[in-house]
């Protein structure tokens, strides 16, 4: 019986990821891999980012879920190109899934591609999709111990968006300690406290993302 070795799987994924990246570069698309645990607010952040940046650039979305098209339908109402990936049980997106999704998007009409990964704080961190940037959504109700429990995820991302800050008065969450814990394992990460419900902090996140895109587009 043939045994699949994780190293071989990741190696094959990396080859496809490089092809995805090259295709994105060819079309001048900046791709962001958005990861989080279930319910942290990935879709809410995607929607808020679209609304904030749509006057400046053309946005496309890839929605990843184990099942259903609920999130893709919400995004589609914003009038942006969106493709749904249902993994059928897999706890993450991989480069092959993204390659198929890219073949079904109008790449000439997209400048910013938001990829909403499957809700999970472990597996998605290990799979390169060909993206330019990784972002993590961490919500206040989840607690402030996540950097200690899932260090790999916090180490690999370029930005952490702390969502649901409007709930800080009602839950036990030490924002200062949480921020220090993240910086201790990833000194270069950018951190954005936001509330996708009230919109507070979203503008700062969107402006940073837009500025981050410019050097990549120029290159």
167 within a domain of the structure (yes/no): yes
H or E element that contains 36: strand 30-36
Would the pLDDT of 141 be above 70? yes
Place of tokens 């120029």: 218
Q: Do the domain assignments include residue 51? A: yes
Sheet containing 133-139, strands listed edge to edge, beginning at the edge strand earlier in sequence: 82-86, 59-65, 112-116, 30-36, 133-139, 159-163, 190-193
Which CATH number fits the domain that encloses residue 69? 3.40.50.300
The confidence score (pLDDT) of residue 60 equals: 98
Which bin fits 206, alpha (ψ -120 to 50), beta or left (φ > 0)? alpha
Structure tokens at 99: 């390659």
Taking the CA atoms of residue 115, residue 107, residue 85 and residue 6 in that order, the dihedral angle to the nearest 10 degrees is -70
Q: Is residue 139 part of a domain?
A: yes
Q: What CA–CA distances, in Å, run from 68 to 5, 36, 72, 85, 186?
A: 30, 18, 9, 9, 34
Q: Would you put residue 116 in left (φ > 0), alpha (ψ -120 to 50) or beta?
A: beta
Let me know if residue 27 belongs to a domain. Answer: yes
Report if residue 108 sits inside a domain: yes
What CA–CA distance (Å, rounded) separates 145 from 130? Answer: 29
pLDDT tens track for 28-61: 999 999 999 999 999 999 999 999 999 999 999 9
| Backbone torsions φ then ψ of 122, nearest 5 degrees | -120, -75
Structure tokens at 156: 């690999």
User: Total structural domains in the chain?
Assistant: 1
The encoded tokens of residue 143 equal: 């607690």
Q: Residue 125 contacts by C-beta under 8 Å, 6 or more apart in sequence?
A: 35, 150, 152, 153, 156
Residue 205's pLDDT band, with cuts at 50, 70 and 90, is very high
Which structural domain, as residue segments, surrounds residue 190? Answer: 6-218
- 103-139 pLDDT, tens digit each: 999 999 999 999 999 999 999 999 999 999 999 999 9
Give every CB contact of residue 190 below 8 A, 6+ residues apart in sequence. 158, 159, 160, 208
Question: Is 80 within a domain?
Answer: yes
1 within a domain of the structure (yes/no): no
State whether the Cα torsion 52-27-114-156 is positive or negative.
negative
Q: What is the pLDDT of residue 67?
A: 84
Query: 161 lies in a domain?
Result: yes
Cβ atoms of 119 and 93 closer than 8 Å: no
């Amino acid at each position: 019986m043939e045994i699949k070795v994780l190293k071989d799987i990741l190696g094959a994924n990396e080859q496809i990821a490089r092809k995805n990246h090259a295709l994105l570069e060819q079309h001048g698309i900046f791709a962001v891999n958005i990861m989080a645990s279930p319910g942290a607010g990935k879709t809410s952040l995607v929607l808020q980012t679209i609304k904030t940046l749509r006057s400046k650039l053309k946005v496309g979305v890839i929605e990843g879920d184990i099942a259903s098209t609920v999130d893709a339908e919400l995004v589609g109402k914003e009038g942006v190109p969106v493709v749904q990936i249902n993994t059928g049980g897999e706890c993450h997106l991989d480069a092959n899934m993204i390659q198929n999704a890219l073949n079904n998007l109008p790449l000439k009409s997209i400048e910013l591609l938001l990829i909403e990964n499957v809700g999970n704080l472990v597996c998605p961190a290990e799979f390169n999709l060909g993206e330019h940037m990784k972002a993590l959504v961490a919500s206040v109700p989840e607690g402030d111990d996540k950097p200690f429990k899932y260090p790999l995820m916090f180490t690999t991302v370029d930005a952490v968006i702390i969502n649901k800050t409007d709930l800080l008065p009602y839950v036990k969450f030490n924002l200062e300690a949480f921020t220090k814990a993240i910086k201790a394992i990833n000194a270069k990460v950018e951190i954005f406290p936001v509330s996708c419900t009230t919109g507070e902090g979203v503008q700062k996140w969107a402006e940073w993302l837009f500025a981050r895109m410019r050097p990549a587009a120029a290159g």
